[in-house]
Structure 1
């Protein structure tokens, strides 16, 4: 029996060693090659994450049963400021591992009906939370992009190039742009690696839901041909961004007003009917009774 356990331990150790040294690196190379062919740029955090867990996470999110769901949530994870490797870890932990553990625990300790409800909530709530966090982060970054346009206009009026402006902003304006600064740092790293400026600006505005940043990147790619008119174009982007913010605020105000109207109709109208018609109804009842 002891010999069998020893042989099993040796086989498991050799399997883990082969997986770590041969299978995982091969899977990571294929995954990274496929991502580059799809023009899905990797962050520096991925370049240093040559570990077993990083390879397993990359392999899992590319399985057919998971890949579609991950691609749908990946823009929201990226918008909330996570690197590609952090996005994969967070997705696997919150959307699969935690729901499975909660489902198994509830199946042992609770009734089947409650366990089924927990199963549905455990798989739905994390995805809903990721989408909500990504949408909120996109709104904040849209506001920060307006400040980015202001800073870029001031620095370019001082004689700096667009690339130099973003380098200065990356150092001096980290407190003003807490979320957008990660995209600016990524832009600077892409430029330092020798990439084309158009490619770097495409990386900066990869999230198409941040409209002000997208217009800013398109304008910066044309800075060579615009010349002195660039400041006027930045002013136009700022005015369009502020107009969009006002429209968004009006929509949210109308939405809150509609909710308040529904609450008043449901809760206050019955009370009003009782208050106004109650004495009359009591008088009619007393008259009929006498």
Structure 2
């Protein structure tokens, strides 16, 4: 038992060292970005941008982008990018959840339950962590599809009042958090890219790069064309909202039809046996009494 506590202490020390080396620079950059965004919203101009990524992050991305880990990391990266996590958080989450945690639980199971327990803990955590991350990305993507319609309506209203695109997105970042809890993080990322000096067309392309969110993808294309051609975007956004409402209506109708099928299965499995007992029960009791 003392060996188990020794190994747990070693793993805790390694985890603390990892967090101190990895998370401290990310927290410092996030604090600087938050302060800069707050100043920008209050009219204070500035030109500072994010510092270059740390050597540990560059080494981790280079290691994960080559070899057998490339395809595995790419899948996790796509799922976590839908939640608007930073590169530091994505690499950290993948490293800890997909490799450090399974190895730690596998080692603990090996020390406590033997080789079979260690193998079971390693395999279970290895598969479960990836399924949870993939499911989290799918939920964020579905939420973004629902929130993109509200984004289109708000952008149409802001642009029709003569507000610039940058000002509209900054107003959304300040006030639309309760309405769009998932999409607001992507809007914050867009604002930080604009503040850092990125071209508006490129920032819009990064905002709508996920084609599994078609409303947001089409909205960014409309806004990019509006910026290039100098035309109004009101009619195009109206058409996009109508098409999105039709798609949502079709999705709800499909979901409603599936609910009726599920309810039929529930009635057959749960209510039909009770109904048969209620109807045929007295007859069976009478028949059993006659046999006596």
Q: Which deviations, in whole Å up to 9, do the C-alpha atoms of 1:207-251 show, x marking residues without a partner?
A: 2222211110011112154724x2121112222223333333334
Q: Which residue of 2 aligns with 1:32?
A: none
**TM-score, normalised relative to structure 1:** 0.72
Q: Which deviations, in whole Å up to 9, do the C-alpha atoms of 1:157-210 show, x marking residues without a partner?
A: 122333443244334444543332332233334344554433222111122222
Following the alignment from structure 1 to structure 2, what is the Cα–Cα distance between the partners of residues 254 and 191?
45
1:69 to 1:266, Cα distance in 2 relative to 1, 3 A: same
Residues 1:150 and 2:128 aligned together: no
Q: Which residue of 2 aligns with 1:128?
A: 131
Residues 1:106 and 2:109 aligned together: yes
Residue segments in structure 1 that go unaligned for 5+ positions in a row: 1-43
Alpha-carbon RMSD: 2.8
Q: How far is 1:113 from its partner?
A: 5.3
Q: Which deviations, in whole Å up to 9, do the C-alpha atoms of 1:13-48 show, x marking residues without a partner?
A: xxxxxxxxxxxxxxxxxxxxxxxxxxxxxxx77x54
Q: Which residue of 2 aligns with 1:227?
A: 231
Q: How far is 1:146 from its partner?
A: 1.9
Q: How far is 1:91 from its partner?
A: 1.1
Residues 1:179 and 2:182 aligned together: yes
Q: How far is 1:103 from its partner?
A: 1.6
Secondary structure of the corresponding residue to residue 277 of structure 2: helix
Q: Which residue of 1 aligns with 2:89?
A: 86
Contact 2:211 2:217 in 1 (8 A): yes
Question: Quick one: which of 260, 264, 275 aligns to 2:263?
Answer: 260
Secondary structure of the corresponding residue to residue 96 of structure 2: helix
- Correspondences of 1:157-168 after superposition (within 5 Å): 157-168=160-171
Q: Which residue of 1 aligns with 2:54?
A: 50
Q: Which residue of 2 aligns with 1:97?
A: 100
Question: Quick one: which of 278, 282, 288 aligns to 1:279?
Answer: 282
Q: How many pairs does the alignment contain?
A: 244
Residues 1:140 and 2:159 aligned together: no
Q: How far is 1:257 from its partner?
A: 3.9
Following the alignment from structure 1 to structure 2, what is the Cα–Cα distance between the partners of residues 157 and 251?
35
Q: Which residue of 1 aligns with 2:44?
A: none
Contact 2:79 2:136 in 1 (8 A): yes
Following the alignment from structure 1 to structure 2, what is the Cα–Cα distance between the partners of residues 205 and 226?
20
Residues 1:73 and 2:76 aligned together: yes
1:96 to 1:174, Cα distance in 2 relative to 1, 3 A: same
Q: Which residue of 1 aligns with 2:173?
A: 170
Contact 2:80 2:90 in 1 (8 A): yes
Following the alignment from structure 2 to structure 1, what is the Cα–Cα distance between the partners of residues 276 and 119?
43
Following the alignment from structure 1 to structure 2, what is the Cα–Cα distance between the partners of residues 285 and 93?
65
Contact 1:57 1:89 in 2 (8 A): no
- Correspondences of 1:180-259 after superposition (within 5 Å): 180-223=183-226, 224-225=228-229, 227-228=231-232, 230-259=233-262
Following the alignment from structure 2 to structure 1, what is the Cα–Cα distance between the partners of residues 166 and 104?
48
Q: How far is 1:90 from its partner?
A: 0.4
Q: Which residue of 2 aligns with 1:4?
A: none
Q: Which residue of 1 aligns with 2:272?
A: 269
**TM-score, normalised relative to structure 2:** 0.72
Contact 1:75 1:207 in 2 (8 A): no
Following the alignment from structure 1 to structure 2, what is the Cα–Cα distance between the partners of residues 216 and 245?
16
